[in-house]
Amino acid sequence: MEGGGGHSGPFPPSPPAHPSCDRSRAVLTDRAGSFGDRDPPGGRGNYTQNSHCEWLVRPDPGGRGNKSQGFITLTFDSFATECGYDYVFVYDGESSSSKLLGSFSGADASSAPFSVTGRSGALSVLFFSDTNYALGGFSARYQWSECPSAGCSGRGTCDEERGECECQSLWGGEDCSLEGCPGDCGEMKGRGR
């Protein structure tokens, strides 16, 4: 702001470093995308203190209008927030009154990447930070699918009509992530089931 006069000292005010997380609410409608506490996601520096940002992920690949369906997998590629004070909440739906899929806080480098999957066809992601101490924040990407896992965990194919994975032999579970015969059917434990 010209002539605002709010700054003292010899240094000019810095430009806003994190335009994507300034009391903002973004709606993402593509089949896949990415976002984070800054724009573009994954940039350097820390998030801003006293942040409150929201992202509504509601892909509409079939042009169905407001009818949400399908599965959305959200993967955090990096994550570092002040543990216990700065949080990311993920809800399976269009608002924070939907089912909470996870609340994340902390800075364990070994924890990323990690994923959550929603079943409602929409995800709401909220990020809050308090007024003290900031860390590197997060970058996340999402993928929409008719099936519980985009690509059915690489072990099956998605029947888009039914919205179900058809798993290769020896793999099961709704996303083909379960080995049907682990450890050669319990070689160590006797017979398999």
Q: φ, ψ for residue 125 (rounded to 5)?
A: -120, 125
Binding mask 111-130 for Ca ion (x = CB under 5 A): ------------------xx
Minimum Å gap between C-beta 100 and Ca ion is 21
Structure-token match 């169905």, residue found: 64
Selected from 52, 108, 133, 160, the binder of Ca ion by CB under 5 A is: 133
**Window contacting Ca ion (CB under 5 A); options: 18-26, 38-46, 96-104, 133-141:** 133-141
Tell me the torsion sign for CA atoms 113, 56, 177, 102.
positive
Q: Is-contact 73 121, C-beta < 8 A?
A: no
With respect to Ca ion, which residue has the nearer C-beta, 17 or 32? 17
Binding mask 71-90 for Ca ion (x = CB under 5 A): -----------x--xx----
Q: Is-contact 181 153, C-beta < 8 A?
A: no
Residue nearest Ca ion, CB atom distance:
82
Give Rg (Cα) of the chain: 21
In the complex, the residues that contact Ca ion under the rule CB under 5 A are 82, 85-86, 129-130, 133
